[in-house]
Structure 1
Amino acid sequence: MAEEDIDTLIDSPLPEEEGQLDDENRLKPAFVDAVRDAIEDGDETRAYDLVEPLHPADIADLLELLERDERRQLAAAITDLMTGEVIAELNDYVRDDMIEALPPEVVAEIAEQLDTDDAVQMLEDLEPEDQAAVLAEMEPEDRAAIESALSYPEETAGRLMQRELVAVPEHLTVGDLIDYLRDNDGLPTEFWEVFVVDHTHRPVGTCALSWILRCPRHIALADVMKRDQTLIPVSMDQEEVALRFQKYALISAAVVDEAGRLVGQLTVDDIVHIISEEAGEDTLLLSGAGDGDINEPIRDAFSARVRWLIANLGTALIASFIIWAFGAAIEKLVALAVLMPIVASIGGNAGTQTMAVTVRAIATNQLTRSNTRRILWREIRVALLNSMTVATMIGIATAIFFTPMLGVVIALAVVINILTAGIAGVAVPVLFDRMEQDPAVASSVFVTMITDSMGFFAFLGLAAAFGLAG
């Protein structure tokens, strides 16, 4: 490339300089409003001109920012810009809505532009009849690959893997491999390593492209390939796959079937999405917020959230019963009613802290059966230090504003409740995990119930035992 051409490329304005993106790489409100105005005015040419310079990921962001009718109008105005790259970047709910609005032949054409894993992600949530209609419009080879992927359970390596890869027999030389890569137009356009297989198509090693480029042509692949490799079973859960990529710093990995034959590959760009999804999913499950997607239909959001609120209502009744049982004591000493929410609140926060640490440790395989006791003992010691610190502060303040005896009672109650919170914050998620249930799903409801109930019971019970409400 000539030097003046390079200078031209360097001096060419980027989207940020043209005014579409702000300093944080987000679409500017003024730009979004301009696109919206063009759509409302029916000026498709203006809308196309505004959107055309954007990166596919930014086009996806733009579609997600618009209302449902607006995004459909924009998609109609920028048909040739609605590439597979744009569809692959869309939020799940927005993508499903867009796909439903397109005819099957158009959806099939988009799917054929995508890698297998992205095409599967696009089609897997369609209604069975819509999915069948799209598959019927696809080329036989592409249709067979997608149908094969859809046969695996959701969120497994088989569902996520790409079928597009480069695999060669181990008897080749480096020169043979280079010639093969240059002469075959049907190979993937982007890959990082070549998989070496035996006569049964089982992977026996890998060759990074950097090795291939640096080795003399006469060297045998068997002499330069890396024999140690991380093989991913097709049935492995995507969360476990992500942990293996993170643990072994993988760029790509071979996926093998039950017989050990190479059937696909997973690449780090797929894993980045998985890690992001799993982290967000655990956070939302801890809060009982369902998918937590702002594009989720209102009815789905309602059904996902209300059931946990109802469950929380049931557990809250236990704490209310404890308060009712000590109603006479509260009537005689109003200070109890003033102070008991403090005990429950502090215990709840302590439980949430421990639970969040525990759920993360389970998700990342830092907490297993082999170290559960050690982690539980660690959290008990942390809880003991926290409880002594907080109890001393609240006890002194209560003694000053009320009575010294009440200060002792609330201090003891805080110690008991924070220790209980530390134990429950570990025990509840671990119990769910042992029962093969997601520990993030309902842990918060039960931990909150335990800390609230114990907080009220410890404080009011100690007050009655010390004769403060006699």
Structure 2
Amino acid sequence: MLDDPETTTAARDAPRLRDEDGAIRDEFVDLVRTAIEADDAATLRELVGDLHEADTGALLHALDAELRPRLIALMGPDFDFTALVEVDDAVRQEILGELPPETVAEGVRELELDDAVYILEDLTPEDQAEILQQLPSLDRVALTRSLQYPEDSAGRRMQVEYIAVPPSWTVGHTIDYLRETEELPERFFELYVVDADYKLLGAVPLDRLLRTRRPTHVDELTEAERRRVRATDDQEEVARLFERYNLIAVPVVDDSDRLVGVITVDDIVDVIEQEADQDIKALGGVGGDEELSDSVWTIARGRFNWLVVNLATAFLASSVLGLFEGQLQKMVALAVLAPIVASQGGNAATQTMTVAVRALATRQLHDGNAMRIVLRELLVGFVNGLAFAVLTGVLAAAWFDMPDLGVVIGLAMICNLVAAALGGILVPLVVERFGLDPAVSSGVFVTTITDVVGFFSFLGIATAWFGLR
């Protein structure tokens, strides 16, 4: 159809994409929505064609679900499929489900291998096969091989575009090759030296190559001990390697030490963000794959199981109160103050547990220093217990005009904060020892410990102190 002059003018006069808080402006989204509904491809290209893929991904989130595939169809070859890496899994799968396999295949062809794998890996095998059949044989083979690596492995994250040279080449020959060869990676930081069987011999940093005289042989510059990872290594371990040694790129080898790819720091930033996101969600009993774009039913179903476990442990903690039913009837103050002891212990345990889980995830907490960290947390719990014993004791005594009650709640506070410290550090250690994820499993058990110890210590001490029966 002919371009709408008013819409084209609107494209030229479009507001800035993001507001002061970094959110996509509603006015910009409205212009894009109008162009889509008018099937105005020219205006849409003016508005969206030059956006960074991260901005295009944010725009896709801001649009209504039915408009997203229409935007891609109208943009045609001008749509950068890298933007689909920037959206939630649920949004991406929804978009891919609405697009013809031919369109997806055409978009995937232009992507780096790791981005293409990221887009296709969550599709069903049938959908993957249908899209792969639309690709040229070389692209299909490379993608198929990467998709066969374990999920969250280095093989899924690596790029297969790299520069490998034999050790017999000179610096001059290598530089001439780099200048004259068109099919090179867009960005690279080092060259890899391989033998005739493509086994990795080492790496040559690009800056070192350019500073060396032309007659020098490459093998004289090769760093033979260059750190490398296997394609089957877990991506979290690879990220830890980058963090520990401040790496920019690392070669990926197969089980025979043959060079198969390279992982760069921009890929690892995504891994670090993803792993941190999963850990934070797991601490709250939320599935690591939950997204803001998920449906109500999906979110409710994902959270239900841990809420059931929490309910069971809540009944366990409440049963402790049942053991002191008579004492609670005789002294109402006990019923009023008991939740304070339990709540304070729960908060203290959550602090300790958060630090412990993160330390375990980054391998800072291990068998070699576990005892020292446990003793440290025990002392922290005792010190805080003393401080809050004085504070809550004074407040409780003044509130109910009973000095003895202040002593009782103070002693209970010390007991529970010490128990909270021990529970917060020991539970994650024990959970990990059994091969489970401490981020997912620790919270509910630690909270139960502090509730049970809090109620039992406070009511038990009160019963002994006041002689209640």
What is the alpha-carbon root mean square deviation over aligned residues? 1.9
Equivalence map 1:302-341=2 (5 Å): 302-341=300-339
Name whichever of 52-61 and 310-319 sits farther off. Answer: 52-61
1:172-187 matches, within 5 Å, as 172-187=169-184
User: The residue matched to 2:51 in structure 1 has which SS?
Assistant: coil
Change (3 A) 1:186 1:49: closer
1:339-354 pair list within 5 angstroms? 339-354=337-352
Aligned to 2:285: 288
After superposition, give the CA deviation of every residue in 1:243-269 in whole Å (9 maximum; x if it has no partner).
100000000001111122211111100
- Secondary structure (helix, strand or coil) at the match of 2:466 reads coil
Who is 2:67 aligned against? 70
Residue aligning to 2:462: 463
Q: Distance in 1 between matches of 2:381 and 2:421?
A: 6
Residue 148 of structure 1 corresponds to: 145
CA distance in 2, matches of 1:94, 1:23: 25
Residue 83 of structure 2 corresponds to which residue in structure 1? 86
Q: How does 1:157-236 map to 2 (within 5 A)?
A: 157-236=154-233
Match of 2:443 in 1: 444
Name the SS for the 1:218 alignment partner.
Answer: coil
Q: Which amino acid aligns with 2:144?
A: E
**1:162-214 per-position Cα deviation (integer Å, ceiling 9, x unaligned):** 11111111111111111222333333222111111233322222112222222
* 8 A Cα contact 1:255 1:262, kept in partner: yes
SS at match of 1:408: helix
Which secondary structure does the structure 2 equivalent of 1:137 belong to? coil
Q: 1:415 and 1:211 mapped to 2: Cα distance? A: 61
**Does residue 299 of structure 1 match 2:335?**
no
Give the partner amino acid of 2:17.
Q
Moved more, 36-45 or 426-435: 36-45
**Shift in Å, 1:445:** 0.8
**What residue in structure 2 maps to residue 36 of structure 1?**
33
Which residue in 2 is equivalent to 1:8? none
Structure 1 residue 128 corresponds to structure 2 residue 132: no
Q: Cα distance, 1:32 vs. partner?
A: 2.0
Distance 1:37 1:454, change over 3 A: farther
What amino acid sits opposite 2:291 in the alignment? D
Q: Do the aligned residues in 2 keep the contact of 1:16 with 1:25 (CA within 8 Å)?
A: no
* Contact map agreement 1:196 1:207 (CA 8 A) in 2: yes
Match of 1:264, SS state, is strand
Aligned mate of 2:237, from 219, 236, 240? 240
* Pairwise CA distance, 1:467: 2.3
TM-score (norm 1): 0.93
Structure 2 CA distance, aligned partners of 1:119 and 1:73? 21
1:376 is matched with 374
The answer to whether the aligner puts 1:277 opposite 2:274 as a matched pair is yes
Equivalent-residue separation in structure 2 for 1:468 and 1:43 (angstroms): 84
| Structure 2: distance between partners of 1:389 and 1:324 | 30
What's the CA shift for 1:161? 1.3
Aligned to 1:425: 424
Letter in 2 for 1:316: A
Counterpart position of 2:364: 366
2:343 counterpart letter in structure 1: S
Residues 309-335 of structure 1, C-alpha deviation per residue, up to 9 Å, x if partnerless?
011001111001111111111111110
Alpha-carbon shift at residue 82 of structure 1 (Å):
1.9
Shift of 1:128: 1.4
In structure 1, C-alpha distance between the alignment counterparts of 2:193 and 2:272, rounded to whole Å: 28
* TM-score for the superposition, normalised by structure 2: 0.93
Label 1:273 to 1:317 Cα distance change in 2 as closer, same or farther (>3 A): same
Distance 2:34 2:48 in 1: 13
Correspondence for 1:410: 409
Shift of the alpha carbon at 1:55? Answer: 2.0
Offset at residue 43 of structure 1 (A): 5.0
**Counterpart of 2:451 in structure 1: which amino acid?**
D
- What is the deviation of 1:18? 5.0
Q: Identify which of 136, 140, 144 aligns with 1:139.
A: 136
Contact 2:39 2:74 in 1 (8 A): no
Gaps of 5+ in 1: 1-14
Contact 1:16 1:22 in 2 (8 A): no
- Tell me if structure 1 keeps the 8 A contact 2:82–2:115: no
How many Å separate the matches in 2 of 1:298 and 1:164? 41
SS at match of 1:206: strand
- Say whether the 8 Å CA contact 2:202–2:226 is kept in structure 1: yes
How far the C-alpha of 1:84 sits from its partner, in A, is 2.7
Q: Residue in 2 aligned with 1:50?
A: 47
What is the distance in 2 between the residues matched to 1:253 and 1:242?
11
Paired AA for residue 75 in structure 2: I
Q: Name 2:3's counterpart in structure 1.
A: none
In structure 2, the partner of 1:9 is: none
Give the whole-Å Cα distance in 2 for the aligned partners of 1:468 and 1:243: 57
Query: Would you say the 8 A contact 2:14–2:28 is kept in 1?
Result: no
Q: What is the Cα deviation at residue 30 of structure 1? A: 2.4
Deviates more, 1:39-48 or 1:378-387: 39-48
Name 1:454's counterpart in structure 2.
Answer: 453
> 1:397 maps to which residue?
395
Cα deviation 1:3-42 (Å, max 9, x = unaligned): xxxxxxxxxxxx9995222234432222223333444565
Deviation at 1:405, TM superposition (A): 1.2
Amino acid at match of 2:444: V
